[in-house]
Structure 1
């Protein structure tokens, strides 16, 4: 494994943690706007139907995917500017 690839590992780890936190906050805001509820339904909560549970999971997954991709891409671009190479590139 190349030294620059190893140098990027902590950047990617911190970015992943940050992405998860940002996505969680974004999902809570979006879910509150969509449903009027402060929290998304739990899959095992009997009070919520299939549609609501699956919709919440789909929205949460989409938000997480978009935020994670944006943070990963920004981290890779920043690393490229500092290190002179794209992470993982030979």
Structure 2
């Protein structure tokens, strides 16, 4: 394994945790706009419709994927700036 990959591992883990927190906050805000409700439905919430459950899951997945990609890419660009090597 390349030294750059090993050196990037802790950075990648920290960025992953940060992206999860950012995505969670973004989803809460998006759900307030979409449904006007503070609580997003859980798959096991029997009082919510299939539409609400599946919409919430799709929105949450999309937001998480976009935030994770943006954070990962930003981390890789910053690593290249500091080390001169792309961490991949």
TM range (shorter): over 0.9
- Encode CA deviations 1:41-69: one digit per residue, 9 max, x unaligned: 01111100111100000000000000000
What is the SS of the residue equivalent to 1:38?
coil
Residues 1:2 and 2:14 are matched in the alignment? no
Gaps of 5+ in 2: none
Gaps of 5+ in 1: none
Deviation at 1:39, TM superposition (A): 1.0
Q: TM-score, normalised by structure 1?
A: 0.95
What is the SS of the residue equivalent to 1:59?
helix
Aligned position for 1:61: 61
Q: Any runs of at least 4 consecutive aligned residues in structure 1 with deviations exceeding 4 A, and if so which?
A: none
Deviation at 1:4, TM superposition (A): 1.4
> For the aligned residues, what is the CA RMSD?
0.6
